Structure 1
């Protein structure tokens, strides 16, 4: 017997005995970028590393503006950081900001011919991957000049370099003020994508507490872009990694607070966090009593008083990530790295790319199910559901095992099962599995594809795939497996350390197998199965 089989983690087709699996993921499918503003260049690499490979583009604050509107390189610009990102296949696209200074922004537009040349030269000199234009707080009178500046930049940098524009969310279609400064359609024509700043629905200085980015606000912001004629491939949804705080006495109105700080404040002062279902936003409340230790975060001081913070937590961010798939847009951006909660990157890429199920979030086999999804061996029963407790059918088992065995691209002659017609969804996989020899039919040339697959059938199929042969043993493998057609397979699987049975020494060979149990079993033997296939 193969030595590696001896070393396999013993398990059981039951939740009580199965060990959770692990799987990794990297940026794929849908686009994802984030801004780097807080911290120093010396910490930037570590900051990006915490995203666990989820980013395609990072946008650091390397570009500012001089008083005359010309380009100013910040002291954070680092060629070593750029090189480190390129090693990780992450593009470095600095953002150009006027930091809300309207007159400075207008001088940049007036000086756009020189500024665009300076930007193009800096991109070439420092091996940067493009520019994210983030000029804010202009008005409708600057609309044409703003568009022209982006056009000039686009014309002066190589085609493979990125030009993107951060635009104000415009859920109500305003044509004046800050929102009116952006010609969505024309800006999209001269850029690779528009990063919609779909946040600050309630903002710094706002007297009314409320969500930073409610569900309706975000949806309308996306729809406005699409209705303006921006192709969905050029729409990037901005997600806030920050919240805003208000005090009951009115002395604090919308102060910015990083998402990760909010649970700390709630825990420190004995507050509570609730999820507001109508807005799909998180809200924290707490009271700092007289005599309590005061908390200072940046320029914000939480002294004695009662506070409300609207912010983004895992639940609200997941809802926003779902919108990427719902509208089939390019992807997401976020402001900004270091402000997110711990654990954000554990789920971000999966939800961004639609690899999630709402019925497995707290399930014991959640990680195994996600691993199967990543491998492509199992799929959901619907776009949002995996149905973990649903019994696995013989047809489903055949499909999973063919994929796991690396045989999916092969063809096979008709297996001849009378109950598997030519139009049956799993017919090709059943034919392949029959030719490969790891499934058999029932009597009278029947396969019973919709019948639940039993534990002993799964054991038999896997034993055939792995070419397991039982070794001589005087004792039966389990008290309820004393003989019968599956005896040799169950015994071989037990000897290989794959099956241990229940605590009472039984195996329950006739019982069905849930989809969650199958996912966990396959995840645990997946790497070994790949090794066997190769």
Structure 2
């Protein structure tokens, strides 16, 4: 990735099987969603814009989306040896570890071919220096980002990565930032990256599927058109396992204003809407490239705007950049090609609302109604585990009420019983063709749920908070701490049939009451609340299997 010091670095869940409403009827059908591992796909991002004093705030804005942050701590001296950048702060590394995030800085030659070549030629010394830095600063690994070096160094470059992998403990990451290669070119500096061999000696390849247009490019165009990005990924997965490929997405755009010196200059995505509004511009979405394009004109008499310490001159501007629509389209490629995850360049350039949807779309769950919902984390966890999916491919309906059939299906899935066969649900209102017939039968066979009478199950009846407490107590095999433990809820009398179940759930921290001291046992349970219960009880489900 070229830096600002050179070229590039500019500044669901209706039930566990997935249900979908069909018109006004209550017909459920599976809603498929491709997912990564149970905890979701891998997400990393670079730290470069701004400064070390703002790094923690930049990461915190992303919430719990990121697994790895990659700051610009490691650079190369003119002789190819390692230099630790002044931006390194051990307090930041400690803070990230406390948040459960790994810190894997990238090693950059700042697009200087001579320096990159010297580093590769002296890889033994460089590997020793990198290993020492990882140990000294308690780093979680290194990402190699050496670019613009002649393809004659192809094998030597791979050898550098191999030696680093052998030198560092297996718990430390060794990854490689590789240039996008949509045409499979064997010429030019992009061919220094032997995807197949590099993937064999590293944890993953961060494919830089951006800079389709570049600094100095005379022709305005997208930073990362969908065709460019997808062809780059197709080449990558033809050379290396998809599970070792990380999709690079840009948080920046490029602008042209008639000044040759500014051709393709970088601009943070977050600035573009402000400039369009300030200068009365327009935005169109280019369907061919699936990229937004902004245009506006700055007059000499207009309020000035400063970018990277430089005042934008008067003129007519064309800006190709990224927005929610274009980023969502790119993120869907993670599921389509079953990639390891995403990498983004770079934090502090994205629009503030990016993190409302990024984790959802990266994980392959396109729930537009979960983008700002309080239970997004819990829904993602349940969906990635396969316990709950969506009411449609683009909707979760978090506030809708959960039914008995849905509850049976979810619990059967969570306990890993869904592969069993039930001879019959044995209820008059649950036919063999009912979408939840097997799950209801399995739940009955295991003593988890019975009907509301001997031969009526009432599959579409809403399940209440106390009924779910009873169901989960059975499923998790919880013992009651005593009736007194439920007395803190003013509306749960000691003689109630659900008192001990509510007490058991409360003692495990799985349920809580409301601010007024009530539990509201007869209140219906929503799908969002069910996802939250599953999240809290995940370890208990594993123990109960």
Gaps of 5+ in 2: 1-37, 471-490, 494-517, 541-545
> Are the aligned partners of 2:409 and 2:440 in contact in 1 as well (CA < 8 Å)?
no
In the other structure, the counterpart of 2:68 is 57
Q: Out of 183, 208, 213, which is 1:202 matched to?
A: 213
Matched, 1:47 2:58: yes
Q: Per-residue CA shift, 1:149-199, capped at 9, x if unaligned?
A: 112212211122111110100001111112111111111111111100000
How far, CA to CA, are the matches of 1:67 and 1:84 in structure 2?
32
SS of the residue 2:403 aligns to: helix
In the other structure, the counterpart of 1:10 is none
> Are the aligned partners of 1:97 and 1:135 in contact in 2 as well (CA < 8 Å)?
yes
In the other structure, the counterpart of 1:523 is 528
**1:69-108 equivalences in 2 (<5 Å):** 69-108=80-119
**1:127-276 equivalences in 2 (<5 Å):** 127-228=138-239, 230-248=240-258, 252-276=262-286
How far, CA to CA, are the matches of 1:68 and 1:529 in structure 2?
55
| Alignment CA distance shift 1:87-1:361 (3 Å) | closer
> Are the aligned partners of 2:44 and 2:66 in contact in 1 as well (CA < 8 Å)?
yes
**1:102-501 equivalences in 2 (<5 Å):** 102-228=113-239, 230-248=240-258, 252-298=262-308, 300-357=310-367, 360=369, 374-375=381-382, 378-381=388-391, 384-386=393-395, 397-402=403-408, 409=415, 415-418=425-428, 420=430, 425-431=435-441, 439-440=451-452, 445=455, 453=460, 457-458=461-462
How far, CA to CA, are the matches of 1:528 and 1:186 in structure 2?
45
* TM-score with structure 2 setting the length: 0.73
Q: Per-residue CA shift, 1:232-266, capped at 9, x if unaligned?
A: 11100111111000114655311100111111111
SS of the residue 1:260 aligns to: helix
User: Over alpha carbons, which structure has the higher Rg?
Assistant: 1
How far, CA to CA, are the matches of 2:107 and 2:373 in structure 1?
41
How far, CA to CA, are the matches of 2:376 and 2:202 in structure 1?
39
> Are the aligned partners of 2:45 and 2:66 in contact in 1 as well (CA < 8 Å)?
yes
How far, CA to CA, are the matches of 1:74 and 1:398 in structure 2?
59
How far, CA to CA, are the matches of 1:129 and 1:370 in structure 2?
25
**How far 1:431 moved relative to its partner?**
3.6
| Alignment CA distance shift 1:407-1:148 (3 Å) | closer
> Are the aligned partners of 1:108 and 1:115 in contact in 2 as well (CA < 8 Å)?
yes
* TM-score with structure 1 setting the length: 0.74
> Are the aligned partners of 1:32 and 1:332 in contact in 2 as well (CA < 8 Å)?
yes
> Are the aligned partners of 1:433 and 1:439 in contact in 2 as well (CA < 8 Å)?
no
**How far 1:42 moved relative to its partner?**
2.3
**How far 1:294 moved relative to its partner?**
2.5
Q: Per-residue CA shift, 1:470-513, capped at 9, x if unaligned?
A: 9xxxxxxxxxxxxxxxxxxxxxxxx987999xxxxxxxxxxxxx
How far, CA to CA, are the matches of 1:530 and 1:221 in structure 2?
36
Q: Per-residue CA shift, 1:10-51, capped at 9, x if unaligned?
A: xxxxxxxxxxxxxxxxx9321111111122222212221111
> Are the aligned partners of 1:404 and 1:526 in contact in 2 as well (CA < 8 Å)?
no
Deviates more, 1:421-430 or 1:345-354: 421-430
**How far 1:304 moved relative to its partner?**
1.9
In the other structure, the counterpart of 1:36 is 47
Deviates more, 1:411-420 or 1:304-313: 411-420
How far, CA to CA, are the matches of 1:529 and 1:202 in structure 2?
46
**How far 1:297 moved relative to its partner?**
0.1
How far, CA to CA, are the matches of 2:142 and 2:328 in structure 1?
28
How far, CA to CA, are the matches of 1:410 and 1:82 in structure 2?
39
In the other structure, the counterpart of 2:19 is none
